[in-house]
């Protein structure tokens, strides 16, 4: 990748007359000189398309991996979490709109070179780095360079899944675990609330699963928007038939935020009902999020029913886990250590 005058050239774009077409995500933005793409992270200069958000770090934190949420990837471990700026969706309920949605120049960030971010991660004694908070796919060049700086790091991406196939396959080669948001299960919801197409996100999840990257899914249940039984059932059938019944799914509670302050918190019963529907559809691992429950966040062996991992909030107790197997019946669980 060419670095000219401290500007980093974007990948996956082409010149088209006096503008550029960015091919990093399905929006395929046409960007004329002096302007930014829809995500605010690519800028068209006279001589090239610039990865404008490269190295612009907005947030740093050491988190439990369960917070991503990832329940089946190194359970009970921690990761060094890094956020950037910008997003290629525009969810009306975005909790992180201050870093994802403000116009390009107005987001607070600090520049960190790839080796600086690696050093910060290693100084915290972490061997896993998670790109999260805003959308990591639009940080493609930076993430690839961080992994080049320290290929031994475990890489976690918490993403909306809106990325084109070729860069996604390239990322999958260096990624260990991904949590993809499935924000609803109708295109109408995706277009109205998030500004994207459902099919593009589903295709990404299928590619990630096909590449063998550990995958978990989060479905934020919003009352009256994406919580109908039909929609949830269709989502669960898609997970079972197009991915696997072993892919963990997390039904999380919505809370009012951003442009959706008038919508109420999701009742706990609703997410519990979604979890029940997932189990009825044959999914082996379904959880609820943004609520404390007695047992709905525990992991059960799909073979013998034993409780394998107990959870309370971010407290994790592998009560009957031996390696990646159920200690009671030796069934191999979908758990990456
Ligand atoms: S990555 Fe950004 S600039 Fe590129 S197509 Fe997607 S929204 Fe547009
Ligand atoms: S995809 Fe995530 S970061 Fe982007 S707008 Fe939606 S909720 Fe916010």
Output the CA 118–ligand 1 centroid distance in Å: 26
Q: Which residues pair with 8 in a beta bridge?
A: 3
Q: Give the model's pLDDT for residue 132.
A: 96
CA distance 239 to 216: 10
* Peptide bond connecting 186 to the previous residue in cis, omega within 30 degrees of 0: no
The strand pair at 249-253 and 214-221 is best described as parallel
Cβ of residue 204 lying under 6 Å from some atom of ligand 2: no
The strand pair at 78-83 and 128-131 is best described as parallel
Cβ of residue 96 lying under 6 Å from some atom of ligand 2: yes
Output the CA 134–ligand 2 centroid distance in Å: 6
Residue nearest to atom 7 of ligand 2 (CA): 94
Output the CA 95–ligand 1 centroid distance in Å: 21
Using DSSP, state whether 251 is helix, strand or coil. Answer: strand
Q: Give the model's pLDDT for residue 3.
A: 47
Output the CA 119–ligand 2 centroid distance in Å: 28
Task: For residue 194, give the ligand 2 atom closest to its CA.
Answer: 6
* Residues with Cβ within 8 Å of residue 301, at least 6 apart in sequence: 308, 320, 326, 328, 329, 331, 333
Cβ of residue 88 lying under 6 Å from some atom of ligand 1: yes
End-to-end CA distance of the chain: 33
Cβ of residue 37 lying under 6 Å from some atom of ligand 1: yes
CA distance 317 to 319: 6
CA distance 217 to 180: 5
Q: Give the model's pLDDT for residue 103.
A: 63
- The residue among 23, 3, 4 whose CA lies nearest residue 13 is 23
Cβ of residue 159 lying under 6 Å from some atom of ligand 2: no
Cβ of residue 138 lying under 6 Å from some atom of ligand 1: yes
Output the CA 328–ligand 2 centroid distance in Å: 41
CA distance 244 to 214: 12
Nearest ligand atom owner, CA of 44: 1
The strand pair at 299-300 and 286-289 is best described as unpaired
CA distance 310 to 300: 9
CA distance 247 to 25: 24
The three state secondary structure string of 99-165 is HHCCCHHHCCCEECCHHHHHHHHHHCCCCEEEECCCCHHHHHHHHHHHHHHCCCCEEEEEECCCCCH
Computed from CA positions of residues 102, 133, 210, 11, in that sequence, does the dihedral angle turn out positive or negative? positive
* Residues with Cβ within 8 Å of residue 230, at least 6 apart in sequence: none
Cα angle for residues 111, 117, 123 (degrees, 5° grid): 135
Q: Give the model's pLDDT for residue 102.
A: 67
Cβ of residue 85 lying under 6 Å from some atom of ligand 2: no
Predicted model pTM: 0.96
Output the CA 38–ligand 1 centroid distance in Å: 6
Q: Which residues pair with 178 in a beta bridge?
A: 157, 215
CA distance 130 to 70: 11
**pLDDT one-digit tens code per residue, 141-188:** 999 999 999 999 999 999 999 999 999 999 999 999 999 999 999 999
Tokens of 165: 């196939």
Task: For residue 134, give the ligand 2 atom closest to its CA.
Answer: 3
Cβ of residue 204 lying under 6 Å from some atom of ligand 1: no
One-character DSSP codes across 261-290 = TTSPPPPHHHHHHHHHHHHHTT-S-EEEES
Task: For residue 23, give the ligand 1 atom closest to its CA.
Answer: 5
Task: For residue 96, give the ligand 2 atom closest to its CA.
Answer: 8
Question: Which segments in the chain show pLDDT lower than 70?
Answer: 1-5, 102-107
Residue nearest to atom 2 of ligand 1 (CA): 39
Q: Give the model's pLDDT for residue 292.
A: 84
Output the CA 207–ligand 1 centroid distance in Å: 20
For a ligand 2 pocket test, name from 96, 137, 257 the mutation site with the most ligand atoms within 8 angstroms of its C-beta: 96
Q: Give the model's pLDDT for residue 205.
A: 98
**pLDDT one-digit tens code per residue, 59-90:** 999 999 999 999 999 999 999 999 999 999 99
């Amino acid at each position: 990748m060419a670095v000219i005058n401290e500007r980093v050239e974007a990948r996956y774009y082409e010149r088209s007359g006096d503008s550029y077409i960015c091919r990093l995500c399905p929006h395929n933005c046409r960007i004329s000189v002096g302007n930014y793409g829809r995500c605010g992270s690519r800028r068209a200069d006279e001589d090239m398309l610039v990865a404008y958000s490269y190295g612009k770090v907005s947030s740093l934190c050491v988190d439990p991996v369960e917070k991503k949420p990832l329940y089946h990837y190194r359970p009970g471990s921690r990761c060094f979490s890094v956020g950037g700026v910008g997003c290629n969706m525009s969810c009306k309920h975005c909790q992180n709109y201050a870093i994802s949605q403000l116009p390009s120049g107005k987001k607070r960030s600090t520049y960190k070179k790839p080796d600086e971010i690696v050093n910060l991660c290693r100084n915290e004694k972490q061997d896993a780095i998670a790109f999260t908070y805003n959308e990591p796919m639009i940080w493609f060049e930076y993430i690839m360079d961080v992994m080049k700086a320290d290929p031994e790091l475990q890489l976690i991406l918490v993403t909306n899944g809106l990325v084109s196939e070729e860069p996604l396959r390239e990322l999958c080669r260096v990624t260990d675990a991904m949590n993809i948001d499935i924000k609803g299960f109708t295109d109408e919801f995706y277009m109205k609330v998030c500004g994207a197409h459902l099919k593009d996100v589903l295709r990404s999840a299928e590619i990630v699963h096909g590449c063998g990257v550990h995958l978990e899914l989060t479905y934020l249940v919003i009352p009256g928007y994406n919580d109908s039984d039909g929609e949830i059932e269709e989502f669960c059938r898609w997970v079972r038939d197009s991915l696997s019944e072993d892919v963990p799914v997390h039904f999380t509670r919505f809370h009012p935020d951003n442009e959706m302050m008038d919508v109420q918190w999701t009742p706990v019963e609703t997410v519990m009902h979604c979890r029940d529907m997932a189990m009825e559809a044959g999914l082996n691992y379904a959880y609820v999020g943004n609520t404390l429950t007695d047992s709905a966040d525990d992991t059960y062996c799909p073979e013998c029913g034993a409780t394998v991992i107990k959870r309370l909030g971010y407290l994790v107790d592998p009560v009957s886990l031996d390696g990646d197997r159920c200690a009671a019946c030796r069934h191999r669980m979908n758990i990456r250590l």
